[in-house]
Structures are given as C-alpha cells and as structure tokens.
Amino acid sequence: MKAAGIILAGGSSIGLKELTTKRASAAMPVGAAYRAVDFGLSNMTNSGIKTVAVLTQYNSRSLHEHLNSSKWWNFGRKQGGLFTFTPTITKNNNWWYRGTADSLYQNMDFLRKRHEPYVVIYPGDCVCKFDFNKMLKFHEEKGADISIAVKHMEDSEDLRRLGIVEMDQDKRIRQFSEKPMKASSNIASMGIYIIKKDLLMKLLQESHDEERYDLVQDILIRYKDVEKIYGYEFDGYWSNINTVDSYYRCNMDFLKKDIRHYFEKEPAIKSKTEDLPSAKFNEGSVVKNALISSGCIINGEIENSVLCKKVFVGKGAVIKNSIVLNETYIEDGAVIENCIVESHERIPGNAEFIGEAEEPKIVRLKN
C-alpha cells in the first residue's frame, strides 16, 4: 500500500480514570488476548502498510515493552519497519507533545524520509478490523485532500465523548464538532484519517507557526471549508475505549461468539505472545461463557467474565460480569461482580466487590 502509518498512542485518557494511572490507554488489555494498540498495528500490516510509527508519551513503559519486537505484526523487514517515537528534548525544543498535531509536527523527520504519497493516522485506543485499501480507493475516487472514517452510531450510544460530523450527499464533510454537548447527527468520526503526505506536512507547519497543536480542532475542523474532506463510512464493529464504560462494554462484546470470531478469522488481529502454560481448571471449578487467558489457575466459579494472563482464582471465589487484568491473585471465597480488577492486585479472601452493570466498579487496592 502506498501509505505510511502513524498510531497516536500518547494521550492521557482521563476518561479511563485509575486504569491509566500506570499504563497508556493503547496498552489496555482487550478480550484477554490483545492490547489496544494491536488493532492498529494489525490493521496496517494486513492492509500492506510496511512502515508504521507509534507516537507515545504518557505512562509508556508497558506499551514500549509490548512493542519491543516488531515480528509479532510482521514489521521485521529491511525496508520499512516499526518505529516508536517519544518526545525528544533538544537544544531547540524542550516541549512534551502539546497535542496530537504537535506530536506529528515533532516527528516531521519521519514524514520527510518516507517515499509513500499518503499517511494513514490511527488512534491507539480504537478497536476495530479495518481495510485501509478500501478507504484509500474511496479517497482517490473522491479526489479528497483528507478522508475521515466515520460510523453511524446507535441511539443508545453516548455521543458526547465522540467527534460528530455531518456530510452532504457526496459524502463531503460540512460540519464537524468535537465532543458536543448536543449532537447534531449520529455520525461519529472514528479518529482514522488518510491524508496526502505533503499536505499534512504543510498543515502541520502552519498550525505550529500559529501555536495551534490539536489535529482535530486546529486542522480538520478549521480547514473543513478550505480542504476537500470526505467521510468514508465504515459498517463493521468499532469501539473507542476512551471511558471506563466503553472499555468494559468492549471486553464484554468479546464474549459474543460472532464478534470474537470476527477478529480471529484471517486477516486476523495479532498480538505479542508469551511462553506461558495453558489455563488450568482444577476440580470443583465452574466456567460459563468466559475468556480465560494463558497462565491462569481456576478453582472457583467464573461467569460472563474476561480473565487476562496469570490470574489465580481461589476455591469458592465467584467472578461474574467482570474483567480481571494480568497477574491478579483472588483468594478463597472472594466475590467480584460487575467490576474491573486492576493488574497485580491481591483480593482478600471472602471480600466482596459489587458494581453496577451500567457503572462497573474499578477495584484497585494498591496505591
């Protein structure tokens, strides 16, 4: 594919609350088998994009550990490859990324060195399966300067956390509002863009000169009547895990057979794997509709839940409608329902943590 890829994985993701205290949102576990960043990386390699840069900043250690080898996504090649960029302090620049546009501007050298005429930009917290070749074909047929992937949302979705667009009959975007209090349509921006490389560099330079640093507000919205910006309609599964509720619902979706198989079938979403033993289910354990990752040991009852790697569940413990993150030890008799349990926790025996289905509880005992 004649495009270079950039994954924006540096945001602080305030909506995820305590879950991003020690990790970037792009490093959040999804569906027991993946990290959020895996979806962008897999979509790009599956679409034939050979060069990808991941821009990181906040709490990036675990994300960097996950990206320490490019072979899992087939980027280990002489031409192209996987690059990880953090803010670089120099004599002329001592700023962290001041926004998404600034993160791109500070890595302009990456763009200058690329021979591909297009750039694909993808958010690090976006869970979907995407063919960028189809979007690029749309982009070229429309003669677009910028194309934005958009999706028609259900009425039940909270549109206040999304970018909302309005399009004319030719799919050209006429209105764009970021996280409006009252949405004017149900068409949401997915945060996925295709743009001509030279145009992107020009717009980034202009925004930097005017001390404007946000890609959406200061480029896409500001230039919507100047540049030809079109909306490419996507009809597959998509979740933007930028809030606790959306993250919880996304993981619960992976318990559905059709959604799980959708991501597993070729071209599949790939992730870094570890040499861990298979999950072990001891006598007396009961498991109903659950995803149990490798390295887990189960002695209790699991129902409608997602357990990430190396989770221990004691005798008589009950876990329902919950997500348990990596390397958590749940002692005998504990009850966890409608919760997200932070990684490396030790849940005391016979303790109870009960959340609401509409408002899952974050269990984080350690400071």
DSSP characters over 106-140:
TTHHHHHT---SEEEEEETTEEE---HHHHHHHHH
Provide the total of helices (H) and of strands (E) in the chain, helices listed first: 9, 28
Q: What is the pLDDT of residue 305?
A: 98
CATH number of the 3-264 domain: 3.90.550.10
Q: Return the closest-CA partner of residue 124 out of 98, 103, 94.
A: 103
Of 177-181, 251-255, 311-315, 324-328, where does mean pLDDT reach its minimum? 177-181
More confident of the two residues 357 and 46: 46
pLDDT for residue 354: 97
Asked if the model's pLDDT at residue 78 lies above 70, the reply is no
Residue 282 pLDDT = 97
What is the pLDDT, as a whole number, of residue 358? Answer: 87
The alpha carbon of residue 120 and the mean position of all alpha carbons in its chain are separated, in whole angstroms, by: 15
Residue-range domain boundaries for the chain: 3-264, 280-363
pLDDT in tens, 117-176: 999 999 999 999 999 999 999 999 999 999 999 999 987 677 888 889 999 999 999 999
Query: What percent of the chain is predicted at pLDDT more than 90?
Result: 79
Q: Which CATH number describes the domain made up of 280-363? A: 2.160.10.10
User: Residue 95 pLDDT > 80, yes or no?
Assistant: no
Average pLDDT over residues 206-220: 94
Cα–Cα distance list, 257 to 86, 252, 361 (Å)? 38, 11, 25
- Evaluate if residue 225 carries a pLDDT over 70: yes
Q: Which of 79, 80, 19 is nearest to 251 (CA)?
A: 19
CA-CA-CA-CA torsion sign (340, 344, 348, 350): positive
* Structure confidence at residue 286 (pLDDT): 97
pLDDT at position 94, please?
Answer: 66
Both tokens assigned to 70: 């490019």
Segments of 86-211 assigned E as strands: 118-123, 126-128, 146-152, 163-167, 173-178, 187-196
Mean pLDDT of the chain: 92
